Amino acid sequence: MASLVRLTALRNAKKYFQAPLVLSRAMSGVPHEGGPPTTTLGGPFKVPVGTGHATQEEISNWVKKELESGWQSKGYDYNDEKLDNEWHRLWMFCLVSIPVIFVTFYCYLPNRTMRDWAIREAYLVLAEREAAGVEPISRDLVDPEKILAALPSDEEFKAAGVVINI
């Protein structure tokens, strides 16, 4: 199995060792015309062939010619159609299907922090206490002396610039 992986890697390595194609376009006018480049057309369209739109027949002929030319590479392998399609399917599976599966699993994971359970339980306890006619939270749940011991004194409030109007 490992030899198959290495063979595939060698087969794909040739595209990394090919001389890079450098495409550039000079921004000067056509030498034999002697004029500056145009701002609206430029390049090979400096002297357009015609001003009218293509007819339906011309479009149909162009489409037929493109369809007859056969396979167009998806960019994975420019020489082998089968390998190009296989790499395309693999990448689309990895980039589309696998993330969809992981997101679906993540969305349906159980609530590990139990936050939903705690809120639901609190509502049930409140409903029970209201039905029994008891106050929702007892005043003696926390000792009032502990709360008063943690509060700042009136002098500390005045020193901090806090004014309490009762």
Whether residue 101 lies inside any domain: the answer is yes
Last residue of a domain, one of 75, 91, 109: 109
Report which DSSP code applies to 44. G
**pTM of the predicted protein model:** 0.35
Helix, strand or coil, per DSSP, at residue 9? helix
Q: Give the model's confidence band at 27: pLDDT under 50 very low, under 70 low, under 90 confident, else very high.
A: low
**Same-domain pairing of 122 and 102:** no
Q: Give the model's confidence band at 37: pLDDT under 50 very low, under 70 low, under 90 confident, else very high.
A: low
Domain residues for the domain of 69 are: 64-109
**Same-domain pairing of 88 and 121:** no
Whether residue 30 lies inside any domain: the answer is no
As given in the structure block, the two tokens for residue 79 are 């020489």
Count of domains observed in the chain: 2
